[in-house]
Structure formats: structure tokens, C-alpha cells
Amino acid sequence: MKNIYFIRHFKTPWNIEGRLQGRRDISICETRDANETQVLQNNINALDGIGFDAVYCSPLIRTSQTAIAHGLKNPTVLPNMIELDFGALEGMPKSTMRKSHGDDWDNAPQNLPLGESFDDFVMRVKDVHQTILSNSESTVLLFGHGAWSRCFKCIVDGTDPTQMNSFEIPNGQLVQFSAR
């Protein structure tokens, strides 16, 4: 049994503005609001005493900065943990994208004009899942992104990744998975 813990990166200025970040390498905000400060403390308390066999993050700076905020200074970068490439949608306010592509966002993300095919994205996420399952590490901590984490949750839960936008994983949120 694998115990997988996941934390979505803390807010960036684009998260606050409601923009799709994708692969844009944006730092987290320099200061945290009271809610984010409480989320960080809750995460630290929840993770206290857990011996992680491995800590992984995306190559984008916001995930390593979030790991550092949690006291983990040297996570291993997994290239396949990089966020979904939103292509021409990157930088667009999510509300604008939803007006143009709302039904596709919710039910058929494979139809969006992305910078990578949705199938390739899902394969990258599945690759990380398989890597974790095949390694000897039993307790793993991941620091990643919104779309990536929702797709990962679908894969672990055995649900269709095209439904990944039917739920949210908020910034800073700690999620625990068990996988075989």
C-alpha cells in the first residue's frame, strides 16, 4: 500500500486574478493571508511525524517554494509533474475561458485548444502514478498544480480524467491518497 500525500502550491498573483497559469513559471505570493497561514499550519501539523520516503515537485518554481514553506528544502523534481500546457489559454482569466469553452472545460477538456494534447497530459500524470507505484517508497509527498492534481486524483480513484474539472483542489490543500 502506498500512502501518497499531495499539496497544491500556494497562491500566485495569477491565482488571485483568476488566470490560467499552465506552464508559466510564476512565484507564489510573498505574503500569505490569514487563511493560507492557517492552511500551512494545519498541513505542517498533519504531516508532523510522517517519515516520507520521497518528496517530489514539479519543475515550476511555485511548487518548490511551497515545499520550502513546509520546511522541505530539497524536493526531487519530476518533469512529468509540470502543469497542463494551456497553450493559447494561458494567462486568460478562467471566467473568460469558461464563457468561450465552458462545457468543454467541465465535461470534455480534450476538446480545448491546449498546448499539448489532453491524452499526452493524462499519460504524463499516469507515468508519475506508475513511477510511485513501482518504486520501493511507501510514503510519498507531492507538491504540484491544480489541473495536474485533479487528473492525478481521477487516476488514483479510477475515474475518467475528463471529469477532472468537476471538483476543485484549493491552493495549499493537503490531500491524502492510498494506492496499490
Q: What domains, with CATH codes, occur in the chain?
A: 2-179 (3.40.50.1240)
Split at pLDDT 50, 70, 90, the class of 180 is confident
Average pLDDT over residues 131-157: 95
Residue pLDDT, tens place only, 91-114? 999 999 999 997 899 999 999 999
* β-sheet with 54-57: strand ranges across: 76-77, 54-57, 139-144, 2-8, 174-179
Grid cell for residue 68: 520550502
Cell of 6: 499531495
Q: What pTM did the predictor assign?
A: 0.96
Q: Is 1 a residue whose pLDDT tops 90? A: no
Residue written as grid cell 512529468 = 80
CA distance 144 to 148: 7
What is the per-residue pLDDT across 21-79, written as a single tens digit (0 to 9) for each?
Answer: 999 999 999 988 899 999 999 999 999 999 999 999 999 999 999 999 999 999 999 99
CA atoms within 13 A on the CB side of 129: 21
- Strands 76-77 and 174-179, bridge-based pairing: unpaired
Residue labelled with grid coordinates 462545457: 103
User: What are the phi and psi torsion angles at 159 (to 5°)?
Assistant: -105, 165
